[in-house]
Amino acid sequence: MNTDVQNYLQQAKQFRQNNDYNASLNILNQAYNVCAKNDYASLGKIYAFFGQIERDQQALNKALLMYNKALGEFRKISDNVKVTHTVRHIADLHQALGQHHIAEENYQMVLTSYRKSEETAGLDLANALRGFALLQEGLGNNTAAKNAWTEARAIYLSADIQAGVEECDGHLVKL
């Protein structure tokens, strides 16, 4: 990755953490402008970052567009970890937009991929299970929701993420 792009992404991250989205977007545009058009990994990161900012601002359709662009770039370099992670964000957005069937297909793909990969961080799987559980619960598929919440809870517990454990417990008690 180009060092200029890396520096811009770090700056954009700092502005985003301070909720200064306009400054973050300006920096991302600069990163995009200096990025080589065949630097697919960097372009994927830039588009994903644009997606995060749009999602933060509740511009879900714009976020979905940016994440799909990121997905295209990550597929060009066959980065399965980034592809799967990006599809998880896409699933979350489809769920938020009420596109449940598409969200479910994406979550299924993500869960399958995460379970097959040795590169998967436990919290990535737990977060995907969380999204899938919320979807299933919302659709009234209580057995699937309960199974996903239970599996996510075990991962959050082993990682000592108390907020995750508590969220899972809150949903499990209702099922």
Per-residue pLDDT of the chain (175 residues; tens, 9 = 90+): 678 999 999 999 999 999 999 999 999 999 999 999 999 999 999 999 999 999 999 999 999 999 999 999 999 999 999 999 999 999 999 999 999 999 999 999 999 999 999 888 889 999 999 999 999 999 999 999 999 999 999 999 999 999 999 999 999 999 9
- What tokens were used for 130? 């969380």
In words, the CATH class of domain 1-78 is mainly alpha
* Phi, psi dihedral angles at 160 (to 5 degrees): 60, 45
In whole angstroms, what is the distance from residue 66 CA to residue 137 CA?
A: 28
Q: Please, what is the Cα angle at 108 between 102 and 110, to 5 degrees?
A: 105
pTM over 0.85: yes
In whole angstroms, what is the distance from residue 29 CA to residue 36 CA?
A: 13
CB 137 within 8 A of CB 171: yes
In whole angstroms, what is the distance from residue 59 CA to residue 145 CA?
A: 27
CB 12 within 8 A of CB 49: yes
